[in-house]
Each structure stands twice: as C-alpha cells, then as structure tokens.
Amino acid sequence: MRTLVWLLRALLFFTLFAFALNNSHEAVVRWFFGHEWRAPQVIIVLLAFGFGAAFGVLAMVPTWWRHRRAAQRAEPLPGAPAPAPEVPPAPYAAHQDGV
C-alpha cells in the first residue's frame, strides 16, 4: 500500500512538473491604475493557489476555535475524577448458601 501511495505522489509531482515546464512563458498580471506585473505563468498560478489556500485556512480559524471551546466545555479535565456510575442495589438473597 505504501508503494502505491508513493507511486501516486510521484505521478502527481511529475505531472505538475511537466505543467510547469510547459507553461514557463511570461504572463502579465494587470493591476489597477496601469500597474502590471510580469512573471512566468507557473509562478502566477502557484501564488494564486497559495494565497487561496491561506485564505481558506484563515477563514476556518474562527470555526475551529469555536469547536475547540465547545469540546473543552463538554469534556472533563484529564486530572479530574470521573463521577462513579450509579449501580442499582442487588436484591437481597435470603438464602445465600444455595438452599
């Protein structure tokens, strides 16, 4: 199974590497007020992906904090003794000797 995972990773790496080699020509990003930025297209795509992933992670942080606080409130602390479960009393056996 590990070999299969590493083969899939190698396939993904070489596919992306071939994409980068095929798209190494210069591209232009035009900003506001006539500003423009020239860079290889693969760099522009990589930066767009990186900024998108970072934005997604940062957008999820408040939700993660809220869930973490809720989980901490729901679980007792690790050092605190857990309350003993209530066990119903066993019925009194009049004849414990089996007679």
Question: What pLDDT was estimated at residue 41?
Answer: 87
Higher pLDDT, 24 or 10: 10
Q: Dihedral of the CA atoms 12, 14, 17, 19 (nearest 10)?
A: -70
Chain segment 35-73, per-residue pLDDT in tens: 999 998 888 888 999 999 999 999 999 999 999 998 888
Give the model's pLDDT for residue 71. 87
pLDDT digits 0-9 by tens, 74-85 = 876 666 666 677
Number of Cβ within 10 Å of residue 77's Cβ equals: 6
DSSP string for residues in 61-89: HHHHHHHHHHHHHHSPPTTSPPPPPP-PP
